[in-house]
Amino acid sequence: MSLGRQELKHAISLAEYQVLRKKLAHFMRIDPHVGADGKYMIRSTYFDNFDNKVLQKKEGYLNRDKYRVRIYGKGDHVVNLERKSKRNNLTFKSKCPITRQEW
């Protein structure tokens, strides 16, 4: 499992976003999957149990796992099986690519 990280989410204005984006451009590289417009398509299917407990267990739980199948872009030649885990307020992500031949 990779190193955990804390996720903090904050709302910012459009002006703050534009300033932050310009500042971060000096330190970060562009995602190689983006198109000319700076965007890309993501398709995801999340897994849950029959009681939808994963969907309902959001805040207040220190330990949980969410599983999804995710496809980036319009093609389906590589599909990722991904797990997002939370342990003691730290978030961990892992993924495993699955090729079309493995379906």
The span from the CA of 13 to the CA of 11, in Å, is 7
Token pair of 61 as six digits: 């739980």
Contact 75, 88 (CB under 8 A): no
* AA letter at 69: V
Identify the pLDDT of residue 96: 92
pLDDT tens digits for the chain (103 residues)?
467 777 788 999 999 999 999 999 999 988 877 888 888 888 888 888 777 776 666 655 668 888 899 888 777 777 899 998 888 878 899 999 987 776 6
